Homo-oligomer: A and B are copies of this chain.
Amino acid sequence: MDEKEIRDLVEDWVRAVHEKNADAVVAHAARDILMFDLAPPLRHRGAAEQKRGLAGWFASFDGPVEYKVRDLDVVAGDDVAFSTSLNWIGGKRTNGERTDVWVRATIGYRKVERRWTVVHEHVSVPFYMDGSYKAAVDLKP
């Protein structure tokens, strides 16, 4: 049941990102959510900051954000859970570039008043250890 609720949450979240609906994304977040994101800084915190970041990111897409979650694994206890997945982000950017990247996502949840809430998210790509220090944005699962 808990796993089902978290899978529904992720599905809802994917839809919200696809529709560029920052409010619907943030509706799942704890007020003090801790974010380890694709872009610097190392971390940021808070639902207001999440909303601000999403608004800017959504605005950089010319049209919808394509978003796909693969290999979603949910580890759920009574009131603490986390999930892992590989997520694909695609779409046309306002600068003319095309985004097409697979990222790793780890989400941490806490059950607050009988409802699963996102208290942590960690989204990243690895980087090449060949001296280039380039983000590995070309990997496929």
Q: Enumerate chain A interface residues (CB-CB to B < 8 A).
A: 34, 36-43, 73, 75-82, 84, 86, 102, 104, 106, 108, 110, 119-120, 122, 124-129, 133-137, 139, 141
| Complex CA distance for A124 and B129, rounded to whole angstroms | 13
| Contact of A43 (CB < 8 Å), options: B37, B79, B86, B119 | B86
| Contact of A106 (CB < 8 Å), options: B108, B126, B129 | B108
Q: Report copies per complex.
A: 2
Known: A37-B126, A104-B36, A120-B82. A110 touches B75 (CB 8 A): yes
Which B residues are CB-close (under 8 A) to A119?
75
Top 3 closest pairs, chain A to chain B, by CB: A77-B80, A124-B124, A127-B135
